[in-house]
Amino acid sequence: MAQLKITRVAQSKYDSVNWDDLKFGYYFSDHMFVSDYADGKWNEGEIMPYGPMQVEPTLCTLHYGQTVFEGLKAFRAKNGGANIFRPIMNARRLVRSSEMVCIPPYNPEKMVQDICELVKVENKWIPSQYGQSLYIRPLIYGTGNFLGVHPSKTYRNIVMCSPVGAYYKEGINPVKIKVEDVYSRAVKGGLGAAKTAANYAASLYAGTQAQANGYAQVLWLDAISREVIDEVGAMNIMFLMKDELITPSLEHGTILAGVTRDSVLHIAKDWGVKVSERNISIDEIHDAYKSGRLKEVFGTGTAAVISPVGMLTYKGEDLIINDGKIGEFSQKLYDTITGIQYGEIEDKYGWNVHVEF
């Protein structure tokens, strides 16, 4: 493999960061990786200072949204170096997302190498407090300048990094969720399974309305019958009912195949828990709640890992889950996944890509 060209910043921004209050996606590190696509191929790419880029008003992506992204994390490992959590899963999902919006695929193995090189260059930006990490955001977008709805002929792939804080500063707090029965995020045959801008634009209005009413996020139902559960905000959703862990299946193409979702399913199976990927209707949840079988509800995603749901509001009725407290199962999953990520417990699945610096 050819050594990537690296251009370093003259002045690091490191000292301007408040490392005790990082927040999420607020600070950006000194360098980024950039590769361009033209004449039918991606170039080798290079690492350069993070900074503004000039665009023309006719940049096709601004008008037609031909863009995809990813989100993954690097953790400062207990015994030195860093662990990047399951990057090949993200790199492969980026290819699937790309396909859905006619973006040419970026080689997943090459993307993992690029990410490893960038993490080495940015190693001091991986924060050291427990719960903190370096969030890595690959982004690909059309760079053509034209009006008219057709795919771009040129693209750019940028990988940027953001040191992020512990998602839960005062322990894990369960959130209030509104079951959304008016607006839709995605529909069968649409883009729901792609991490592409359109899905997030489609979610803003409902999310903002829910937040104005005191909810953290919305639970999306399928766009046609409004009975079958899809996702929660930008996370996958799971239900612990008696001794069965249930999550919506991926077959409709309306939800994202989360890396955290996959990790939770693996671990739960390993613990001997019955795991079901299937359709779950909001009525089934309501019935399980009434009969006392609904034990725990939680979202899964890279940012929060596990986000317990303390209350679900459906058509004006509040379902209080596990007394509004984090459940034992959710806490154990959180501790297991973060333990693997920080290198504190054995990575028996081989999920971490370890980099030394």
Ligand X SMILES: *Cc1c(COP(=O)(O)O)cnc(C)c1O
Least separation in angstroms between residue 135's CB and ligand X is 10
Residue 190 binding ligand X, by CB under 6 A: no
Reported as type and span, the H/E element at residue 335 is: helix 328-341
For ligand X, the closer of residues 144 and 248 by Cβ is: 248
Report the distance separating Cα 242 and Cα 131, nearest Å: 30
Residue 252 binding ligand X, by CB under 6 A: no
User: Which of helix, strand or coil describes residue 155?
Assistant: strand
Report the distance separating Cα 120 and Cα 84, nearest Å: 11
Residue 302 binding ligand X, by CB under 6 A: yes
- Binding string, 64-83, against ligand X, x = CB under 6 A? -------x------------
Residue 258 binding ligand X, by CB under 6 A: yes
Residue 260 binding ligand X, by CB under 6 A: yes
Q: Residue 140: which of 80, 66, 214 has the closest Cα?
A: 66
For ligand X, the closer of residues 231 and 296 by Cβ is: 231
Taking CB under 6 A as the criterion, the residue among 83, 132, 236, 313 binding ligand X is 236
Residue 160 binding ligand X, by CB under 6 A: no
Sign of CA dihedral 293, 279, 195, 226: negative
User: Which of helix, strand or coil describes residue 325?
Assistant: coil
Least separation in angstroms between residue 56's CB and ligand X is 29
Residue 261 binding ligand X, by CB under 6 A: yes
Least separation in angstroms between residue 336's CB and ligand X is 15
Tell me which stretch binds ligand X (CB under 6 A): 118-126, 132-140, 251-259, 265-273: 251-259
For ligand X, the closer of residues 40 and 189 by Cβ is: 189
Q: Give the tokens for residue 184.
A: 């839709």
Do 118 and 159 contact (CB within 8 A), yes or no? yes
Residue 174 binding ligand X, by CB under 6 A: no
Taking CB under 6 A as the criterion, the residue among 81, 127, 174, 301 binding ligand X is 301
Report the distance separating Cα 284 and Cα 299, nearest Å: 18
Least separation in angstroms between residue 78's CB and ligand X is 23
Burial bucket for residue 13 (CB in 10 Å: 0-12, 13-18, 19+): middle
Burial bucket for residue 108 (CB in 10 Å: 0-12, 13-18, 19+): middle
Residues that bind ligand X (CB under 6 A): 71, 195, 231, 234-236, 256, 258-261, 300-302
